[in-house]
Amino acid sequence: MINKVKIAPSLLSANFANLEKSVRLCEENSADILHLDIMDGHFVPNITFGPLVVSAIGRLTELPLDCHLMITDPDKYIADFVEAGADMISVHVETGFHLHRTLSTIKNYSCKAGIVLNPATPLEYAFEAAEFCDFILLMSVNPGFGGQSFITSFLRRCEKLRTFLDNNNLQHLEIQVDGGITPSNVRQVVDAGANIIVAGSALFNGDFRSNIEAFRRNIQE
Ligand code: DX5
Ligand code: ZN
């Protein structure tokens, strides 16, 4: 049974010209995890950064680094992200021909392994792969950009997944949500069974401290 709800700021909405400042904001406000969006311009129509930047961030902080790989060939780069300091690595099921092998590779590096499902990807993928995962990320927007609107079908998908995990002795698995999460919908998302909350624009746009406090207030309500 998972009790703790974790907040994972997505640095995609941070100030890329001063990442250190954004990392300090996360630390000072007791964020639980740093969510790093790796995009290759192929699997998603946007390009961000790779292992070199992850490694530079890792040198700044002790916060766990969560690498969300939105790249076509994740197998090729897992070792590089581990080397760069990743503590959690998630791969999209839409990219994987040999998902079990990919997840085993990540775990063999003592890194937490997760799968990611796009909003329209059948949930059955998660049912089949759950036992090989430490966490499952259900996207609540189409991946590629920050600041998009929450897709509400997430809620029923998340409830179904949580029920599946509870019924199959997999209660310990964490469910992560990513995309369009704000203080206004975070309560619903937690009630649906998610416990790792990724948020980019709703934290970094405006005052980070009051934004994260609003998230926490609404989570605890
Ligand atoms: C989108 C990324 C997200 C993004 C979320 O593809 O995976 O992590 O930063 O941004 P917001 O919270 O603004 O929707
Ligand atoms: Zn992400």
Looking from the CA of residue 181, the nearest atom of ligand 1 is 12
Query: Could you tell me which residues come within 8 angstroms of residue 102 by beta carbon, excluding any fewer than 6 positions away?
Result: 74, 75, 78, 91, 96, 113
Other Cβ atoms closer than 10 A to 51 = 19
**Residue 191 annotated as catalytic:** no
> What is 6-220's CATH number?
3.20.20.70
pLDDT tens series, the chain, 221 aa: 677 999 999 999 999 999 999 999 999 999 999 999 999 999 999 999 999 999 999 999 999 999 999 999 999 999 999 999 999 999 999 997 799 999 999 999 999 999 999 999 999 999 999 999 999 999 999 999 999 999 999 999 999 999 999 999 999 999 999 999 999 999 999 999 999 999 999 999 999 999 999 999 999 98
Taking alpha carbons only, the member of 150, 147, 148 closest to residue 138 is 150
pTM of the model: 0.98
> In testing the pocket of ligand 1, which one of 15, 90, 148 has its CB within 8 Å of the most ligand atoms?
148
> From ligand 2's centre to the CA of 35, what distance in Å?
7
Q: What angle do CA 45, 128, 170 make, to 5 degrees?
A: 110
Angle between helices 19-28 and 208-220 (to 10 degrees): 40
Domain boundaries, the chain: 6-220
**Residue 37 annotated as catalytic:** yes
pLDDT of residue 1: 63
> From ligand 2's centre to the CA of 108, what distance in Å?
23
Query: Could you tell me which residues come within 8 angstroms of residue 53 by beta carbon, excluding any fewer than 6 positions away?
Result: 19
